[in-house]
Amino acid sequence: MSLIHAQNLAKSYRVGDLEVPALKGIDFVIEPSSFVAFVGPSGSGKSTLLNLVGCLDHPTSGKLTVLDTDVAALNRSASAEFRGRHIGFIFQDFNLIPVLTAYENIEYPLVMVQNWPAAQRHDRVMSLLDAVGMADQAGKRPDQLSGGQKQRVAVARALVANSKLVLADEPTANLDHDTAYRIIELMRKMRDEFGTTFVFSTHDAKIMREAEVTFTLEDGRFITNPPSHHD
């Protein structure tokens, strides 16, 4: 069973009287436990595609199945429920809550959506802090952390509720190159450890080579991938 299946998936935005086509009918399959990149220049449709897969927006036409669910058919509240249960998100600008510590930011999805018992919650948050190498920074607030450290907290937050799928829209765009590599490496390690599928977007060709599967977008369509540089 595939984890994500898109068939002739299209999305247009209405801007005044204009229809702006952002995705022009794309097909792809993503298998469970894979490590996937959507690559392409700014405006090629990466965010539009991740928003559809993340049930943050609805396709204009075509079919999209995520975890055996026809997500185009979900209404607003069912989408929110589906996201909370199955999908973790990582953002370009980290999106941590500034007044909460690293620990509390990671704990947040468990408090808000999952309602875990307190003791279990503590064990889960501590194990994730440890997994991303941030156990010694648990009490710090985002403004006391570097960009790379903030993104480690965001990776832990995306995983804490046992999501099967983590979506990361340009997770390395605000990081220097060495830090960017280390975050991608961390995501792959988390995939190895937990079997979580990671799907990230990037416009950086070097970062793209770290993925095991890549789809290259240009103007809302896939183009044929160049040969992989992966050893």
- H-helix or E-strand containing 185? helix 177-194
> Cα(220)–Cα(20) distance, rounded to whole angstroms?
11
43 or 84: CB nearest ligand ADP? 43
Position 88 contacts ligand ADP (CB under 6 A): no
From the list 5, 46, 83, 24, the residue with the least C-alpha distance to 207 is 46
81 or 204: CB nearest ligand ADP? 204
Position 40 contacts ligand ADP (CB under 6 A): yes
List 46, 83, 152, 157, residue binding ligand ADP (CB under 6 A): 46
- Please, what is the minimum distance in Å from the beta carbon of residue 25 to Mg ion? 19
- Please, what is the minimum distance in Å from the beta carbon of residue 46 to Mg ion? 5
Give the Å distances, CA to CA, from 186 to 10, 28, 97, 125, 189.
32, 25, 22, 17, 5
Chain-centroid distance, C-alpha 118 = 27
List 34, 45, 90, 109, residue binding ligand ADP (CB under 6 A): 45
Taken in order 210, 126, 157, 174, the sign of the CA dihedral is negative
Position 15 contacts ligand ADP (CB under 6 A): yes
Site residues, ligand ADP (CB under 6 A): 13, 15, 20, 22, 40, 42-48
